Structure 1
Amino acid sequence: MLDQETIRSFIKVAECQSFSRAAELLHKTTATISYRIKTLEESIGTQLFIRTTRSVNLTPAGEYLLERCRQWHNWLDSMPDELRQINDGVEHQVNIVINNLLYSPVTVARLLAYLQQRYPFTQFHISRQVYMGVWDALLNEDCHLAIGAAGNESLENGINVLPLGKIEWVFAIAPHHPLANTEEPLVEDQLRLYPAINVEDTARHLAKRIAWLLSGQHEIKVPDLHTKLECHLRGVGIGFLPRALCQPYLNNGELVQKIPHRPRHQSALSLAWSSHRSGEVVKSIIALFQTGDPLIQGFISPLE
Structure 2
Amino acid sequence: MLDQETLRTFIKVAESKSFSKAAENLHKTPAAISYRIKMLEESLGTQLFLRTTRTVSLTPAGNHLLERCHQWLSWIDGMPDELNQINDGVERQVNLVVNNLLYNASVAAKLLSWLHQRFPFTQFRLSRQVYMGVWDAMLHDDFQLAIGVTGSESLSNTIRLLPFGDVSWVFILSPSHPLAKRSGILTDNMLRAYPAINIEDTSLKLTKRVAWLLPGQKEIKVPDLHTKLECHLQGMGIGFLPKNLCQRFIDNGQLVTKEVENKRQPSPLSLAWSHHEHTGKAVREIVSLFKRNDEKIVGFLTNIDRRPNLE
* TM-score of the superposed pair, with normalisation by structure 2: 0.96
Deviation digits for residues 225-283 of structure 1 (CA, Å, limit 9, x no counterpart)? 11111111111110000111110100000000001011100000000011135200000
Matches within 5 A, 1:85-124: 85-124=85-124
Q: CA deviation at 1:123?
A: 1.2
Aligned partner of 1:298 in structure 2 is 299
Amino acid in the other structure paired with 2:103: Y
Match of 1:289 in 2: 290
**In structure 1, what is the equivalent of residue 279 of structure 2?**
278
Question: Following TM superposition, by how much is the alpha carbon of 1:165 offset from its aligned partner in structure 2, in angstroms?
Answer: 1.2
**Structure 1 residues 90-149: Cα deviation after superposition (integer angstroms, max 9, x where no partner):** 111111000010001111111112111111111111110000010111111111110000
User: Which residue pairs with 2:308 in the alignment?
Assistant: none
Structure 2 runs not aligned, ≥5 long: 306-311
The 3-state SS of whatever aligns with 1:262 is coil
- Structure 1 runs, 4 residues or longer, greater than 4 Å off: none
Residue 12 (structure 1) aligns with: 12
Q: Indicate the residue corresponding to 1:44 in structure 2.
A: 44
Partners in 2 of 1:265 and 1:29 — Cα distance?
78
Residue 171 (structure 1) aligns with:
171
| Correspondences of 1:23-172 after superposition (within 5 Å) | 23-172=23-172
Once the two structures are superposed, residues 63-103 of structure 1 have per-residue CA deviations (whole angstroms, 9 ceiling, x without a partner) of 11111111001111101000100110111111100001000
Aligned residues: 304
Secondary structure, aligned partner of 2:68: helix
Residues in 2 aligned to 1:273 and 1:38: alpha-carbon distance in whole angstroms:
54
Tell me how far apart the structure 1 counterparts of residues 109 and 146 of structure 2 sit (CA, whole Å): 16
* Matched-pair identity in %: 63
Structure 2 match to 1:181: 181
- Give the alignment's Cα RMSD to 1 decimal: 0.9
Q: Aligned partners of 1:289 and 1:82: how far apart in 2?
A: 26
Question: For residue 309 of structure 2, what is the aligned residue in structure 1?
Answer: none
Question: 2:6 is matched by which residue type in structure 1?
Answer: T
CA distance, structure 2, for counterparts of residue 161 and residue 92 of structure 1 = 23
Tell me how far 1:28 sits from its aligned partner: 1.7
SS in structure 1 opposite 2:154?
Answer: coil
The TM-score with structure 1 as length reference comes to 0.98
Residue 243 of structure 1: aligned partner: 243
Secondary structure of residue in 2 paired with 1:269: strand
Distance 1:165 1:74 in 2: 44
Q: How far off is 1:221 after superposition?
A: 0.4
Q: Deviations over 1:130-171 (max 9, x none)?
A: 000101111111111100000011111201111011101010
Secondary structure of the residue aligned to 1:206 is coil
Letter in 2 for 1:114: W
Q: Who is 2:227 aligned against? A: 227
Unaligned runs of 5+ in 1: none
Partner of 1:3: 3
Q: Distance in 2 between matches of 1:239 and 1:111?
A: 32
SS in 1 for 2:297: helix
Name the SS for the 2:296 alignment partner.
Answer: helix
Amino acid of the residue matched to residue 297 of structure 2? I
How far 1:303 moved relative to its partner?
0.3
Question: For residues 32 and 144 of structure 2, what CA distance do their matches in structure 1 show?
Answer: 49
Amino acid at match of 1:290: K
Q: What displacement does 1:183 show?
A: 2.2
